[in-house]
Structure formats: C-alpha cells, structure tokens
Structure 1
Amino acid sequence: MTMPQMPDSPGTARPFSAELWTAIDPVYAAILDHPFITGLVDGTLPHDAFRHFVVQDSHYLRDYARALAVCAARAPGEDDVRAFAGDAAGAIAAEQEMHAEFMDRLGGSAAQAAAQPVGPTTRAYTSYLLATVYGGSFLDGLAAVLPCYWIYARVGEALLAKSSPDPLYRRWIETYGDEAFQGVVRRVVALADRTGAAATPEQRAAAVEHFVTTSRYEWMFWDAAWRRETWPV
C-alpha cells in the first residue's frame, strides 16, 4: 500500500513527516540509483556484496534494537512504549531469523557473521544513533531512528513491483515491501507527526537535521556493502 506524500490542504498545518521527507528527497533519489539497489532488482548484485550487507546489518540491528528500546522508555504514551518495545524485539528477531537464512544460503552461519568485525560505516551509524537517543530529546531520537523504518519501506515498495530474478534478493524485497511492515512504518510516521506538531520550530529543525544525517548513513550503508568496506588501517 502506497504511503503518498500528500499536498497540504488550504488552512491546514503541514505535517512534520512532509517536512522530513522533503529534506531527504535528494538522498532517497540517490539511494534508488545506487548500484547496490539496482543490482538487487536486475539480479546483477554480486553475492559477496550482499553477504557483506547481511553481516553488517546483523551488527547494526543489535544496536538499532537498543536505540528503539531507549525510544520505548521515553515514548509519550503507553501504546507508543509497547510499540517501540515490540519493534526492538522485532529487530533482534530479524537478525536471528532472516539473517540466519541468508547466511545459510550465502555460505556461512549467523555465528560466523557475528564474529566478523563491525565495519567503519556501521560503527559510525550506530554510534550516532545511540548518542542521539540517549543525549537528545524524544523527538531527536525518533527522527534519528525513523529513516531505517521509512526508507526501507519506500525502497521495498518501489522494488516490489519490479521484483528480482534472484530468489535471495526477491526474498529481501518482499520482506520490506510487505504490507505488515508498511503498516508498522505508517504508525511510526504518524507518531512523528504528533510529536512534531507539539514541538517548537527550533526543536523541529534539530530533529530534521538528525533525520537527514541518518538518511545519509542509510545511503552510506548500502555503499559500504557495494564496496565491501573494511577498515583502512
């Protein structure tokens, strides 16, 4: 189900989510054009690059789950607390289940993936996430974790219509294009709208900056997998 960016109606305030997405339009366009993403669709992405992605994503999701747990602790309402706590548990489940399946099909195990070093981009991204959720406001933390929800949903949605000749990549696309995941993302975007509506212009501007920064890290994460990034020294 599409999550359209609706134009503002006369006399209504612009949703905060529209402000956020407008700020990353160029980043999202660059993500869709990246050879890692186009290679998923046409099946030309080398399995070594996808394996690098899976390994680093396993590392990433452990810290992302911690970031979501902090968001749960600071969430404004009981329903939001439960939802973020569930998302944190879901991030761990994704690591244990889907990534184990991918590693098995790529030649390896979840234990082998866990033993591989955390890459530079992964370390930078998760460090920024954790610093923001711990050190900033709830809105700051929400804006920082939101791109991992929202961009994956939009990419999955865009790629679902094209699919992939590679069954491994098709499985990945279907996971993030699935309506169940899209519904989760709509819930988090709606929370961003509610929280942003109550914030000051200065607080919203700070949150936009966090959102743009972690959106850039999303592009960098796929690029790191494409390059099979390692520590230079």
Structure 2
Amino acid sequence: MKRYPGEEVPGLAPAGSLFARLRAACLTEWTAYIDHAFVRQMGEGTLREECFRHYLGQDYLFLIHFARAYGLAAFKAENLETLRAAGLGMASILDEMGLHVDFCRRWGLGASELEALPESRATLAYTRYVLEKGLSGDLLDLYVALSPCMVGYAEIGLALKPLSGPDHPYREWIDQYAGEAYGDVARASVATLDDLMARRGGVGRMPDLIRTFREATRLEADFWRMSLDRAD
C-alpha cells in the first residue's frame, strides 16, 4: 500500500495531517505557488502598485465565489461541527473582502466598482474549478480544493512577516495573513480536512485528492501570474 507522508508545516499543520501529506505530494507545484515572483516581489516591497491593484480587484471577485463555495459546504454539512466550520470559512472570506475595499478606496474604487470588474480568465478558471469540485464531489473534495488558498495564504503571510516593517508598502496585506486570526482559520481548515478524511476518506482516495490539490495549487500560481502580467 502506497504511503503519503507529510512533514509538519510549522504553526499551521501537524506532521501526518492530510494537508501536510497533500502538500508534500505536490511540493513542486506548492513551491511554485508560495515562492512565486509575485510573492517574492511583494515581500521585497518591489511589486509594482498596478500589479497589486489588479490582483486586489480580481481577488475581490475570486472571494465572492469562495464565499459561495463555503455556502455550498454549509449546505452539504452532515453535522453541526462541519456547519460551524463552513460558517467560519465564510466569515473569514467576508473579512478579507473588507481589507480589499479599504485598500482600493485609495484609488477611488469602492465595493460596487470592484463587483463590476470583469473576471479574468484566471479568476474564472480557478473559482469555477473549486465550485465544480464541490458540486460533483463531497465535502472532502470541496475542502481539498479550497485548502491551497485557505492555508497557503497563511504560510505565505508567515514567510513574509519578517520582511515587513512600518514603511513596507504591503504591510497591511502581510499582517492580515500572518496574523493570529487568519492563522486560526487556516488551522481550522487543516483540522476539518482531517475530520472529513477520517469520516469519508481512506488511502484509496488519496490519488484523486492529490490531483485536486495539485490542480488547485497550479491555479493559484496562475492567479499570481495573471496579477503580475495584469492579464485579462
């Protein structure tokens, strides 16, 4: 029987957790995502403002669909604990959207202007992939598709935190995802994955779950690339 070991993700996922195992199985794609040029430039403070602005606009639209995905998770919840987890995920996303609006007000963009933006192809591809996984699969499929975003942003925030200072142009973004509140959301996502795996999974599901995790991670990297290139 094939084993899928996974090392600890410090502060976020214990060794052997489903998230750690999925991350380890897709380490090439994961590294391309969390160490993307967009992320490195943001940490260095050299990312062009127009790229960050393009990212924020598309990410606002992205988060609307991810909030819907957690609504779908709530609908599919089999017990109160899973229902609460879906509610926590949705609340976190709505909080993220507030940060985006605060940033974009500096450029004269409010929530209504953000909602009216056209979706890029990268936004369409990623959000529809996650929603399709939730519609065609079960809760475990959906949470695996969500996890590169929900946990990956916490890992990125913690990695960039030492680079952030009072005058860093992206300090607020970094502080949001490196903060304890978002860390709690990421750790709750990791725990929910383990709970769902215990109740609905088994080693026979791992190949399909790895494929889902890998594709979602690739789509995350594509989202960074779209933002860096300011592509439609």
The answer, yes or no, to whether TM exceeds 0.5 is yes
Aligned residues: 223
**In the aligned structure 2, how far is the partner of 1:212 from the partner of 1:152?**
16
Q: Is the 8 A contact 1:43 1:165 kept in 2?
A: no
Mapping 1:73-222, distance limit 5 Å? 73-95=75-97, 97-163=98-164, 167-198=168-199, 199-222=201-224
Range that drifts further, 84-93 or 16-25 = 84-93
**In the aligned structure 2, how far is the partner of 1:106 from the partner of 1:167?**
18
Q: Is the 8 A contact 1:163 1:170 kept in 2?
A: yes
Cα shift at 1:205:
2.2
Cα shift at 1:191:
1.6
Q: Is the 8 A contact 2:164 2:171 kept in 1?
A: yes
**In the aligned structure 2, how far is the partner of 1:166 from the partner of 1:67?**
36
Q: Which amino acid aligns with 1:144?
A: A
Q: Is the 8 A contact 1:43 1:164 kept in 2?
A: no
**In the aligned structure 2, how far is the partner of 1:134 from the partner of 1:164?**
42
Q: Which runs of 5+ in 2 are unaligned?
A: 1-8
Which of 13, 18, 22 pairs up with 2:20? Answer: 18
Which of 28, 37, 46 pairs up with 1:44? Answer: 46
> Secondary structure at the residue paired with 2:47?
coil
Match of 1:225 in 2: 227
**In the aligned structure 2, how far is the partner of 1:151 from the partner of 1:52?**
20
> Does 2:5 align with 1:3?
no
Q: For residues 187-231 of structure 1, give each alpha carbon's deviation from its aligned partner in whole angstroms, at most 9, with x where no partner exists.
A: 11012112223413332322221111111111111111000011x
**In the aligned structure 2, how far is the partner of 1:5 from the partner of 1:88?**
21
Q: For residues 31-53 of structure 1, give each alpha carbon's deviation from its aligned partner in whole angstroms, at most 9, with x where no partner exists.
A: 34322111111211010000000
Q: For residues 111-148 of structure 1, give each alpha carbon's deviation from its aligned partner in whole angstroms, at most 9, with x where no partner exists.
A: 22222210000001011011111111111111011111
RMSD: 2.0
Q: For residues 81-108 of structure 1, give each alpha carbon's deviation from its aligned partner in whole angstroms, at most 9, with x where no partner exists.
A: 022123213323422x211111012443
**In the aligned structure 2, how far is the partner of 1:166 from the partner of 1:229?**
29
**In the aligned structure 2, how far is the partner of 1:120 from the partner of 1:36?**
18
Q: Is the 8 A contact 2:26 2:210 kept in 1?
A: no
Q: For residues 147-177 of structure 1, give each alpha carbon's deviation from its aligned partner in whole angstroms, at most 9, with x where no partner exists.
A: 1111001001111122157544110000000
**In the aligned structure 1, how far is the partner of 2:138 from the partner of 2:12?**
28
**In the aligned structure 2, how far is the partner of 1:208 from the partner of 1:196?**
13
Match of 2:3 in 1: none
Cα shift at 1:25:
1.7
**In the aligned structure 1, how far is the partner of 2:51 from the partner of 2:35?**
16
Percentage identity across paired residues of the two chains: 31
**In the aligned structure 2, how far is the partner of 1:17 from the partner of 1:91?**
20
**Which 4+ residue blocks in structure 1 deviate beyond 6 angstroms?**
none
> Secondary structure at the residue paired with 2:163?
coil
Q: Which runs of 5+ in 1 are unaligned?
A: 8-13
**In the aligned structure 1, how far is the partner of 2:43 from the partner of 2:229?**
18
Q: Which amino acid aligns with 2:148?
A: P
TM-score, structure 2 normalization: 0.88
